[in-house]
Amino acid sequence: MVNSVEKQIQQLLEKGGEFNVQLDLEELKASLVAADVSCFRADCSRARNRSAVFRAVVKAVDYPEFFGSSFDGFYDCLTDTLMDSKAGVALLFDDLHSADPDLERDMPRLMDVLEEVAEYAREQGKIFAYGIKHGGRHPDAEPGEVRNWSDTAE
């Protein structure tokens, strides 16, 4: 008997698209890697806007150049990475603070682009899967306290 997780993984391998981040991600990754799907994790923990999310993706997939904050460039990055892969790509947006005001406005377009890439992958006979682990909202700035990317260790 096929369990629910195995069934979801099988559907993902057939169609791609969004995966449930509540699944056992190690089991999911093992299944994807066994199917020659390249797996990437974009650390979005510090991202407060679309450009920072895109930088996290560029870093995760080792894309050779940063394309700014353009959704067209984001699409190109993902489709180029997809075409360079053997069977497809899986991308986890880890700790995406989608409730931050700037990101909240961009989430519908981000989701549209991810679905467009998944459709492109199907047309090419490949898989594009993505998952989003939402991180809520960044804490508001404290008066008199300056936070910047260099304040935290990597």
Q: Which carries the bigger pLDDT value, residue 2 or residue 47?
A: 47
Per-residue pLDDT at 141 = 58
Model confidence at 145, in pLDDT bands (50, 70, 90)?
low
Examine the pLDDT at 154 and tell me if it is beyond 50.
Answer: no
> Domains in the chain, please, with CATH?
32-136 (3.30.370.10)
Q: Please give the residue that has the higher pLDDT: either 5 or 20.
A: 20
For 81-129, the pLDDT digits (tens) are: 999 999 999 999 998 988 888 899 999 999 999 999 999 999 999 999 9
Over residues 19-50, the pLDDT tens digits come to 988 878 888 899 899 999 999 999 999 888 99
Residue-wise pLDDT for 66-81, tens only, equals 888 899 999 999 999 9
pLDDT reported for residue 140: 62
Is the pLDDT assigned to residue 58 strictly greater than 90? Answer: yes
pLDDT tier for residue 14 given thresholds of 50, 70 and 90: confident
CA distances from 60 to 15, 89, 94 (A): 23, 12, 11
